[in-house]
Structure 1
Amino acid sequence: MSQLPVIVGMGGVNAAGRTSGHQAFRRTVLSALDADTQASTLTGLAAMMRLVNTDGSSPWQDTSGQSLDAEQIVARYQQQVLDHTLIRRIEDPMFGADGIPANRPAQLSIEAPLVFHVRRRQLPEQLPETWQVRELDRRHVEVTVPPGQFDVSLPERRGAQVRTAGQLPSGFEPSSLYRSVHHPRGLSMAIFGASDCLGQSGLDWETLRDRLDPDEIAVYAGNSIGQLDDAGWGGLLKSYASGNRATSKQMPLGYGQMPADFLNAYVLGSVGATGAVQGACATFLYNLRVGIEEIKSGRRRVVMVGTADAPITPEIIEGFRTMGALADDDSLKALDALSLLTDADYQRACRPFARNCGFTIAEASQFVLLMDDGLALETGAQILGSVPGVFTNADGWKRSISAPGIGNYITLGKAVSLARDILGEESLRTRTFLHAHGTSTPKNRTTESHVFHQVATANGITSWPVVAVKAFVGHSQGSAAGDQLVSALGSFAHGWLPGIPTLDVVADDVHAERLQFFAEPLAFEADAAFINAKGFGGNNATGLVLSPSVTERLLVQRHGQAAIDAWKDRREPILEASRNYEAGADRGHFQALYRFGQGVLEGPELSVEADQIGIPGYAQPVSLAVENPFGSLGDAHRDSDHTNDEQ
């Protein structure tokens, strides 16, 4: 019997807040929540943003030390929290009025000798033949350039043409939570996301690891375009042009698989399977697919899956802008018929399935911890849902590498077929919803809605609810489907689907006949969600996620009611540990796990045998037994040789 991959932990961060405790989800349905839940959401975000603090036992305090209660926090900081979460104007100063630092090549015509003084170390390594250099002192020289043509780069400030993004909540800096030394932002976010996932799970990682063969654990994590800020490949690639030295960390830390490497080396200490699958905007689902297939086959029992993307840099934004993919300021103003002297409505920049002009870039880190259902029952792990299938297909022949194609019809069709087999026709038609890729580009609103319409028609679905969470948090590239997945888990827990608040009117070219769009949160008890992703290059993926209640019904069918009752008893301390973690996080106490230099092994310490390898610090050895599905030639080959000798 195939193992059922269940979700036993989730963690991360995006523009809406922290993933654990469904904080980010609650921010997207804030208006639908009761007063107490609204207040706890706002105070938790205020603590995350360092507007208030507490040592855990004393009352809340503002930054001046004044004591506050929850009601006072909400009254004082609510608007600040609302204004500095979700999509908003980019808060990095280089995107402001002074502009982005740049250089412009120029050729000067010098009519008379040009004389200047400069530090010796700032001279080019190879001086032009016509330059005359005179020493002034040990550190300075005088340079004379004769009349003629002189090539220079003139420093300038270029006004940002895109000023909106889905940034992490203001004041939250993941690198400040552990000993980060020149780590790219995406890797700091990965450390936080994985730590948040483990904390939310309520499981003790060391205890869990000790009961398993180390090779029964796997990590599949990455991102869509690597680490391209200055601490990663971004700084490396522009080091010559910028005049800065490349560092020894920029090259290795820039790789796209580095989130998985960081988790293995500094968070989990895992020696099991590892990898990162890049699939553009579908990257999270591509890695999730590998993880669940490993569990379904029985090769792994625990898998951490995730992504961390930090693409809010001038260069990446400019790349997407020149493609015509991003919603730039001028296009947003034209869309709303605003004067060029008026600021665009930055918080409404992303408008899935409405009249729109491009996507809004964002940063996010999302991780889930998967187990096979048998181990989850044995350990008493909480079960947030299950993922029976993720499907990926390419587009075939394409006119443009970035244009959408036909693969998404196949992926969604397969996911719906699996859901129908598990849930039945009635549940499929009335108790499932779509988490759309919903990028807010004119092409996406037409093509993705047509995919939904065709699959709905084929399956007799007449009013399929559509969620497009990018309207709140923007497009976090490879982490986008992770944002969608954890939002779906929030819907299962709270019974609300986030609306599309920027959807004033559905665009005329959207195929909406069988789809249900809504601007405000919708009360909806769901059995399953479809997580849809359409990536550049033809990277299509759709995942089927089952609710906790449906998952429990499957577990009763697979293991019997007695096993489920016993699991619920074992689950109580896990739930208590999870609640304690979330309570601390709501007060701004985060446990970023980062174990640099601990338990390092290099080989001589191992106990190597023919059938297993013992590793100091790991309770169970690694089994070297592998399945051989091809048959053995060893004995037959020896017997054949012996027979030939006798003849």
Structure 2
Amino acid sequence: MEHRVAITGIGAVTPLGNTTTETWEAMCAGRCGIGPITRIDTEGLSVGVAAEVKGFDGEAYFGRREAKHLDRCVQFAMAAADEAMTDAGLDAEGAVDHERLGVYIGSGIGGVETYTEQVHLMGEKGPRRASPYLVAMMIPNMAAGNVAIRHNAQGPTLPVVTACATSAHAVGEAFRAIKHGYADAILAGGAEAPIIREVVAGFTACRALSTNPDPATACRPFDAERDGFVMGEGGCVLALEQWEHAVARGARIYAEVVGYGNTDDAHHITSPDSEAAGIARAISQAVTEGGVNPGEGLYINAHGTSTKLNDASETLGFKRALGEDAARAAHVSSTKSMTGHMLGATGAVEIMACALALRDGIVPPTINYATPDPACDLDYTPNEARACDLGWALSTNLGFGGHNACVALRAVKEA
């Protein structure tokens, strides 16, 4: 038996705000979360801007002792999961069988801040100074592991690692697990804390990051003058739940997850396939499984990284998967123009944006858009949010290694 899957809770810690409400309001207002880097010394780096989380105090949230043993990315995941659980009402006594509650929270690079700090420490003072918490703080599964412990989630738990497609795949795999009866509810999403010198230097070296020093124009997806992505950080977790289970307990439902596509370009370790075959197949898979009808009001939250290759190939992918007419009629935007690229957390944040767009009938904008690119010729909702009658949404994400993900949502038209 197959089950319908609802989104009943959302939690977010992003460069736009430390809650879902703050983040969504900022998105709809077209606010930019990008600014000068403050967390690290940027001397010698050619990149000086990023989308940092502001005002998040891990010691205040978790207590000094616990925070000391949690990498920043894990803190983001746990705070987002707390909000999602409360928002969904799954933290209430008897709301869910904990043996049927799972956690699918991934991270592209895990506790890299902890790892690099410890490497430097051992380089200065020797390996005997390594922290006994080093391994438990750096491995990428610990966001999921700590969330499972915190919420007594004893069901299927599967951290996903597919670079920038990580949390989109986490949501998609959680959707499949619930659809096929392996869980009643799953906390799904991702977290990342990559704004450290080593990571910034590495992404700069492979020519992925924008070197534009102006926070207001550094990230401009689909614009002809784009020159790379802007790194972001944060976490987002969605509470996915079997539809009948949610209805039976009177839960509020944001949107229905109806389809999922997962493919690989098998083309290049960092560059997308210029022919867009892989992402087009992922979109087609999600559209087919979900029975998506683009004519009933379609919003697409694009991966839209603000890199030359991604934005052009993704635009082509939409046309190949949906057809020229449907692609041109769709409302497209890249919320990375506001959040920056949150790497392993970005997919979940963008699925969140899709769910809230369907709920509110508002398409968040692609800000900083000024100069059209002939290779990017769809409606990218430039600079201002737009009220629309929406029935469906697609969220697409691509990751290094050729990973492609697409998640399809349907607006809630019934209880």
The interval holding the TM-score normalised by the smaller chain is over 0.9
Q: Counterpart of 2:269 in structure 1: which amino acid?
A: I
Higher relative contact order (CA 8 A, sep 6+): 2
Q: In the aligned structure 2, how far is the partner of 1:242 from the partner of 1:520?
A: 51
Q: Which amino acid aligns with 2:264?
A: A
2:352 corresponds in structure 1 to 486
Q: Kindly report which structure 2 residues correspond to 1:450-489, keeping only aligned pairs within 5 A, or say none.
A: 450-457=316-323, 460-489=326-355
Contact 2:39–2:196 (CA<8 Å) still a contact in 1? no
Specify the alignment match of 1:413 in structure 2.
284
C-alpha contact 2:302 2:396 (8 A) present in aligned 1: yes
Determine the structure 2 residue equivalent to 1:89.
Answer: 36
* Partner of residue 381, structure 1: 251
Q: Distance in 2 between matches of 1:303 and 1:310?
A: 23
Q: CA deviation at 1:5?
A: 0.9
Does residue 434 of the first structure (1) align with residue 316 of the second (2)?
no
> How far is the alpha carbon of 1:487 from its aligned partner?
1.3
The amino acid across from 1:463 in the alignment is A
- Equivalent-residue separation in structure 2 for 1:13 and 1:347 (angstroms): 21
In structure 2, what is the equivalent of residue 366 of structure 1?
Answer: 236
Could you tell me which amino acid in structure 1 is paired with residue 311 of structure 2? R
- In 2: Cα distance, 1:224 partner to 1:445 partner: 21
What is the number of equivalent residue pairs in this alignment?
A: 406
Q: What residue number does 1:404 align with?
A: 272
Q: Does residue 1:15 correspond to 2:8, yes or no?
A: no
Q: Any idea what the Cα deviations from partners look like across 1:375-425, whole Å, max 9, x if unmatched?
A: 1111111101111221100113x2x31111231110012222334x3x54x
d(CA) in 2 for partners of 1:187, 1:501: 29
Alignment of 1:190-589 (within 5 A): 190-209=77-96, 212=97, 214-229=98-113, 232-243=114-125, 245-265=129-149, 267-328=150-211, 332=212, 344-354=213-223, 355-396=225-266, 398=267, 400-405=268-273, 406-419=277-290, 421=291, 424=293, 428-457=294-323, 460-510=326-376, 512=377, 514-549=378-413, 552=414, 564=415
RMSD over equivalenced CA pairs, Å: 1.9
Aligned residue type for 1:92:
R
Contact 2:257 2:408 in 1 (8 A): yes
Distance 1:30 1:458 in 2: 30
- TM-score, normalized by length of structure 2? 0.93
1:166 corresponds, among 51, 69, 74, to 51
How many angstroms does 1:518 deviate by? 2.2
- Secondary structure, counterpart of 1:504 in structure 2: coil
Misfit runs of 4+, over 6 Å: none
> How far apart, CA to CA, are the structure 1 residues paired with 2:237 and 2:109?
18
Residue type matched to 1:394 in 2? D
**In the aligned structure 2, how far is the partner of 1:324 from the partner of 1:502?**
21
Contact 1:453–1:515, Cα closer than 8 Å, also in 2: no
Aligned to 1:25: 24
- Counterpart contact for 2:106–2:144, Cα < 8 Å: yes
Structure 1 length as normaliser, TM-score? 0.60
After superposition, give the CA deviation of every residue in 1:343-396 in whole Å (9 maximum; x if it has no partner): x31232101001211100000100011111111111111101111221100113
Tell me how far 1:495 sits from its aligned partner: 2.1
Q: Structure 2: how far apart are the matches of 1:218 and 1:3?
A: 16
Contact 2:50 2:340 (8 Å CA) reproduced = yes
User: Whole-Å Cα distance in 1 between the matches of residues 248 and 280 of structure 2?
Assistant: 38
Question: How far 1:302 sits from its partner (Å)?
Answer: 1.2
Contact 2:12–2:80 (CA under 8 A) maintained in structure 1:
yes
Q: 1:237 to 1:93 in 2, by over 3 A?
A: closer
* Residue aligning to 1:47: none
* Superposition deviation, residue 458 in structure 1: 6.0
- 1:575 paired residue number: none
Partner Cα distance (1:318, 1:463) in 2: 40
C-alpha deviation, 1:527, in angstroms: 0.8
Residue 459 of structure 1 deviates from its aligned partner by 6.7
Q: Secondary structure of the residue that 1:390 maps to in structure 2?
A: strand
User: Following the alignment from structure 2 to structure 1, what is the Cα–Cα distance between the partners of residues 324 and 332?
Assistant: 17
- 1:295 aligned partner, one-letter code: I
CA contact (8 A) 1:197 1:368 kept: yes
- Give the equivalent residue in structure 2 for 1:119: none
Q: Secondary structure at the match of 2:41?
A: helix
The amino acid that maps onto 2:317 is: V
